[in-house]
Each structure stands twice: as C-alpha cells, then as structure tokens.
Amino acid sequence: MATLFNWGVKEGNRATPVVVKMENPNWSMVELEGPSEEDFLITNPSAGARDKRREKNAKQLTWVLLLKAHRAAGCLTSIAPALLTLVSAVKRRVASGRTDADVDNDRVGREKENPTVKSRFYSCIKVFLVVSVLLLCFEVAAYFKGWHFGASNLQLDYLYWAPAFGVKDFFNWVYSRWVLIRTEYFAPPLQFLANACIVLFFIQSLDRLVLCLGCFWIRFKKIKPVPKEGVLDLESGEKGFFPMVLVQIPMCNEKEVYQQSIAAVCNLDWPKSKFLIQVLDDSDDPITVSLINEEVQKWQQEGANILYRHRVIRDGYKAGNLKSAMNCSYVKDYEFVAIFDADFQPTPDFLKKTVPHFKDNDELGLVQARWSFVNKDENLLTRLQNINLSFHFEVEQQVNSVFINFFGFNGTAGVWRITALEEAGGWLERTTVEDMDIAVRAHLHGWKFIFLNDVECQCELPESYEAYRKQQHRWHSGPMQLFRLCLPDIIKAKISVWKKFNMIFLFFLLRKLILPFYSFTLFCIILPMTMFVPEAELPAWVVCYIPATMSFLNILPAPKAFPFLVPYLLFENTMSVTKFNAMISGLFQLGSAYEWVVTKKSGRSSEGDLVSLVEKTKHQRGSSAPDLEEIKEEIQRQQEEKVAKKKKKKHNRIYKKELALAFLLLTASARSLLAAQGIHFYFLLFQGISFLLVGLDLIGEQVD
C-alpha cells in the first residue's frame, strides 16, 4: 500500500521514512522521507533545477516541521519529570520548614493554644480533600467510559439495574449508585446553600455599591468637616484653641520603631505646657525596656514633657495598658487624649488639624485621622493590603462619618474626649478589639464621631504573611466576641431604630460575619462541590462577573493598584480561610479567640520624614543645620544592616489549611476541565494556584 503514496519519490533514496498517521478521513497514512545528501547540494539556476529545488525545499520544510513536532513531544514528556521534581522540592520544604502549627517557645508570654481546637478546622478540610480526590477518580473513569450524567440528561431508571458479576460491572453499579445518591440527597441541600450564599452575596454587594455611591456624593458635593475655630496660629496664643492634651504611645517589645514614634510625638506643634506624653511600655524584654527608658530620658533632657510607664504584669494587653495609664491622678487635668501605636509617626501639625473640631461641639467624642503607609510598595502583600485599607478609610469610614456619625475607632491616630471615654465605661479588657468596644459603647451613650480623610498619619503595613495573618485573625475574631457581649446593650440602648439596625445588621452581621462566611463558603466549598455534584449549579456570573465588579469598586480609592485587580480578587478569597476561622472562633469563644500577638514591624520610615525630623530637632536644640547627605547615608546604612540581619534569620513557613485547599481547588479544576466548564475551570485553577503560593509562603517577606 506504501507504493500508492510514493509519487515523485526516487527509488534509490536511502533516507529513513517517517510514518505519520492522520485523523482526516481522506487520508489513512503518509510516508514522508527525510532529506538526503543530494537535497543540500547547490545546483545551477536553470528552470529544471529551480523546479527540482522547489520540490526538495518542500521536502526540507516538511522535515523541519516534523523535527519541531518531535521536540514538542519531547517537551510534553518532560512535564511529568518536572512535576515530580516540584513535588520532591515541596516535600523537602515541608520537611525543613516550620508550619503554622508550630509554636515559638523562645518568645516569653505567648500563650500556647489547645492543639485539639487548633487542628479541628484543618481536619475537616483534610477529610473533604480525600473525599474529593476519590470522587475525581470516579469521574475520570466515568469520563473515559462515556458517561456524562447531568441534571438535564440523567435517566434515573437506568440507575436501578442490578449489578452483574465481574469487576467492570461492579464499578458500573457503584458509580450509578453514587449518581443516584448525589442527585437525591447531595444536590438539593447544596443547591439551597448555594442560593443562600448568592442572596448574601447580593446583599453585601448592594451595601458595597451604596457605600461607593455615598463616597462619590461626598466628593461631588465636596463635603468636608470644618472646625469652627479654623486654622490655629500659635503666634496669637489668645485667639487659638489650646486645651490640655494627653498623648499616649502604647507599645510592647517594639524595638524596631520606638525611636521614630517617640521622636515624632515629641515634635508635635503644640504648647509644651499644654500636653503631656505617656510612653506606655508592656515589653517583657529587658534590653527593649532599657532602650525605651533611655530614649525617654534623652527627650526629657531636651525639654520634652514626657513620662515612661512600664507594667511588669501585662494584664489585658493594650486595653489593660491604656486603662492603667488613665487611672493616673494627673489625667484629670487633661481634656483630650491622643493615641498613637508604636509604628505611627504623626506630622507636627496633627493636633492643630484635629483638636479644633472639638471646639463648641460638645457632642463630639472622637476625631479619627486616616492612615498612610511608608511601605505600601514594598512587595505584593503590602500592595494588596493598601487596596483594602484605602477602601476602608476612603469609603467605609468617611461615608459612615458623614451620614451616620459613627464608625469603628481604628485604635490609633485618633483624639478622644476624655469625658466620652469615662462616660462609656473606660477601656475594658473583655475582647481583643478594645478600640471597637469603646467606640460602640460611646455611640450608645450618644457621642458622635468625625473622620478626617485629609489628615494622614504614617505607619507600617505587615510585610510577612505570618504577621498579616495574625493581625487579620485578631481583627475578625474580636468583633464576634464584641457582638455577643454588646447585643443586649444595643437592644436596650436609648437610640433610634435606624442606629440599632445599622449597628446590628450592617456594622456587625453584614460586614463582620456574613462577608467572611459567604466568601469562604461560596468560593472555597460550594464551588468545588458543584464540580463533583453537577446537579447543583452555580451560574457563571456568580463565579466571575460579580466578584470582578466588587473588586473593581474596592480598588477605586487606590487607582494606581489597577494592575493588581486579579491578584487582589484571588488573594481576598485566599484570606477568607483565616477570616472565616477567626470569625468562628470569636463567635463560639474558641481558644484562639483570645490570642493576641503583636504585629511584627520592620521599622521602616520615609527618608524625607526622617530628614525633616532631624532638621527640626537640631533647630530646636540651637545647633547648626545637619548635613543631609550624612543623614541619608546613615539611614541607608541602618536599612542595609536590617536587611542583612533578616536574611540570616529567614525561614519558610508551611500553612496547612491553605495547602489543603489548594489541592482541593486544583482537584476540582481538573473535574471542571472534564465537564468543559470554561469560566469555572479558570477560576478554580488560578484560585488553587493562589492558595498554593500562600501555603508555601511565597507572598510577602518571610518570617524571622
């Protein structure tokens, strides 16, 4: 039969033939021969020679294409060894790296969590993963047998036939029984849960849209809180409004940032006789205690009105620290208190921009400033955090301040009226979100709040995923603790029904409970399950279009972050595991709900701020102006030393929950590929990859 396809081929050709089978029905087999030595000879440019060369060039082209196809096939065969190499590398990393279940015993004062409580959530995910892998094996076998059962073409009568003898018939019977069980028992509750999450999704999206419209209205109308006194002028002391202000800096083992925060507060532009600085130190490291004490003494010698307070027993964490400081006898001489965490660096005119809002406004209890970040462009993790916090301040805090006069206190960069704190009951140690607790209680007593979007206070963002995860756990478990404690007081409070509805439904349930619940349940549980139970359907617009729209709204306050829209969407779904776990632990009072870990800081500051600060300090001391080049070199040298020191101590952490969900989502993506579900496949694939990157600690800086 080969002779039929040897048209135009020399009989004397000694090249090895290549047989290519083709699927086209008009062709069954073609023999293509490799080039011989004569094909590469240069001939005279005659007409016959040109025809001969044209014929030989066609053969050469065919041969080159076949060689490239052979190389492509070789690349495909090398995928399996590459995957095995990747798996072995991951195994070595898991064996040598620390996991999120490890406890750093070298840190004194860190409470060890109950291992049973800590592993309960992870055990459920492992069981779910094993079941999903088994189901995927069944689905792959059924796919190659040509079975494609779905809600529309499922024939239930076919499923009741009795099995015959033999392994093949037994497998047919088992798979048919599984289809029957999932159709009658699994699909209805899964579809109900999916519909419920879609409804919650709509409600939360509507809330997000209303907030964005409110922010647009504020910008369009140029609504902005304006103090009655106007801009202060310290030269005209009689006309200015200079009440007594107490400034507090709570800190605990903040060795990296204590100098810059104390220096920034000591240079606040306010009459020195009118404000007092309290450095409230809860550090348990003797070296850190000594360094902070020496720094305070140095500023005392320079004429700053500053005191150092150290607690030996750290009861109540930050709330206990602030409560202890407010019990000092001299606090009664002050009317307002400004609070700054250890990594916050207020500008010299901070008090001049915030305190005047209290004049002739006796109902005002809190003035909150916005945060800005010195390291927002440090890595991908800080960029994604900046998107979230920009939306929080620009939209949530500003809209709630203008239209409701209530929002959650951010715990720092704010000025309180001391009377409002005392009337609300003072700082309480019952939750890990003491700032939100005092804000809720003050609002129930009728106090109003103001948020200043144009007044910024610089601080740091967590640069490692471990630090960010601990922070988010505290921020999402604490509100659920507080909701359990405050619900009776909210119901009994003498405030309007609208304010009660806002606090119970919008502030607590929708934004603190429903958001992490549906985000984790819908995208990490229900969506993978619908791949194995196709009778329960999840529309494509729920998977793709609505989340993309909501992410687009979230990123509007940070327009420079638009290139990170897709990573932001995937990372927020990845963080839903931590947020959901924290929400559950806070709601049901599990062991981790009371966990308080100080967020790790690197001590970064903007170079311009440090230079201006040194200039101002030298000017106040009466010495000559400093050499800016020397200051810049010193700053650069210190940062290089910190980076070099960190590189020696870095190690990898392995996060088991994230890795388990990564393999679960990738398994579901393989099942969706069999079902030819395009959008679902891509979403599950990229979401699984994002979980894998986070689980292997490949986002942000590594942990010391």
Question: What's the rounded Cα separation, in Å, for the pair 347 and 342?
Answer: 14
Question: What's the rounded Cα separation, in Å, for the pair 604 and 374?
Answer: 7
- In eight-state DSSP terms, residue 110 is P
Q: Which residues of 354-390 are buried (b: 16+ CB within 10 A; e: fewer)?
A: bbbbbeebeebbbbbbbbbbbbbebeebbbbbbbbbb
Question: What's the rounded Cα separation, in Å, for the pair 78 and 99?
Answer: 31
Determine whether 609 is an active site residue: no
Q: Which token pair is 114?
A: 């109950």
SS3 content of the chain, % helix, strand, coil (to 5): 60, 10, 30
Q: Indicate which residue of 282, 341, 437, 697 is catalytic.
A: 282
167 Cβ contact list (under 8 Å, min separation 6): none
Residue 258 burial (CB count, 10 A): 23
Pairing status of strand 414-417 against strand 336-339: antiparallel
Residues in the chain: 704
Query: Which of 447, 423, 446, 430 has the alpha carbon at shortest distance from 484?
Result: 430
Question: What's the rounded Cα separation, in Å, for the pair 119 and 483?
Answer: 25
Question: What's the rounded Cα separation, in Å, for the pair 399 and 223?
Answer: 10
Q: Which token pair is 81?
A: 């060894």
Q: Which token pair is 621?
A: 């001391």
Query: Which of 616, 613, 636 has the alpha carbon at shortest distance from 261?
Result: 613
Indicate the SS3 state at residue 305.
coil
Query: Which of 519, 586, 554 has the alpha carbon at shortest distance from 200?
Result: 519
Determine whether 435 is an active site residue: yes
Measuring CA to CA, how many Å separate 218 from each of 224, 405, 506? 8, 14, 20
Question: What are the residues facing 98 on neighbouring strands?
Answer: 653
Answer positive or negative: Cα dihedral of 452, 457, 463, 466: negative
Q: Which helix (H) or strand (E) holds 259?
A: helix 258-266
Query: Which of 487, 547, 482, 573 has the alpha carbon at shortest distance from 679?
Result: 547
Q: Indicate which residue of 343, 435, 437, 697 is catalytic.
A: 435
DSSP string covering 605-643: --HHHHHHHHHHHHHHHT-PPP-HHHHHHHHHHHHHHHH
Q: Which token pair is 176?
A: 């048919």
DSSP string covering 192-240: HHHHHHHHHHHHHHHHHHHHHHHHHHHHHHT-----SS-S--TTSTTTS
Question: What's the rounded Cα separation, in Å, for the pair 142 and 145?
Answer: 5
Q: Which token pair is 196?
A: 């419920």
Residue 212 burial (CB count, 10 A): 20
Question: What's the rounded Cα separation, in Å, for the pair 651 and 669?
Answer: 31
Residue 207 burial (CB count, 10 A): 17
Answer positive or negative: Cα dihedral of 598, 599, 604, 610: negative
SS3 annotation, 273-301: HHEEEEEEECCCCHHHHHHHHHHHHHHHH
341 Cβ contact list (under 8 Å, min separation 6): 249, 250, 251, 261, 411, 412, 413, 459
Q: Which token pair is 425?
A: 């009951």
Residue 230: left if φ>0, alpha if ψ -120 to 50, beta else—which one? left
Q: Which helix (H) or strand (E) holds 601?
A: none
Q: Which residues are catalytic?
A: 282, 435
